[in-house]
Amino acid sequence: MMKNMLVPKERLAVVIGKDGSVRKTIQKKTNTTISINDDVSISGEPLGVIAAERIILAIGRGFSPENAFELLDDESRLEIIELPKNRKILNRTRSRLIGTDGKIRKKIEYYTDTHISIYGKTVSIIGKNDAVMLCRETLEKIISGSEYKSVFTFLVNKNDKEH
């Protein structure tokens, strides 16, 4: 199987890694061959190609390779949420999701046991299925304009019920 995919130019260096280390690790862990030019070409057995594609997509959406490699676990998944296209609303939404010094993003990651990347016009989540669903619901509340206090009350209550 062969798959071609586009990765933002500024993220290609991360996919490659120092001296090709990230690319080599992806190839080794997924038993694929990856070539990088203007796009990324992945070839190999179908399951390996799909796994490599998920990892590269995550890196392209702003995740570190270490976080992207969590997608090798069958229980982990990547979720991508489109943000508003209007520049003014996009900037306000990104600011609300990140918070001062990244506090809001870090707090959501902590309570949901996920990784969040806000990159370009998307916010992406890596984690276990239930955690990703909870994180998505939380992020959508913030995107729709809910107050932080009600969002975190919701999150704390969800965590209390599950533990």
pLDDT at residue 160 above 80? Answer: no
SS (H, E, C) the chain: CEEEECCCHHHHHHHHCHHHHHHHHHHHHHCEEEEECCCEEEEECHHHHHHHHHHHHHHHCCCCHHHHHHHHCCCEEEEEEECCCCHHHHHHHHHHHHCHHHHHHHHHHHHHCCEEEEECCEEEEEEEHHHHHHHHHHHHHHHCCCCHHHHHHHHHHHHHHHC
The confidence score (pLDDT) of residue 162 equals 61
> pTM of the full predicted structure?
0.92
The confidence score (pLDDT) of residue 161 equals 63
Domains of the chain and CATH, by start: 2-72 (3.30.1370.10), 76-162 (3.30.1370.10)
Percent of the chain residues topping a pLDDT of 90: 93
Between 127 and 156, name the one with better pLDDT: 127
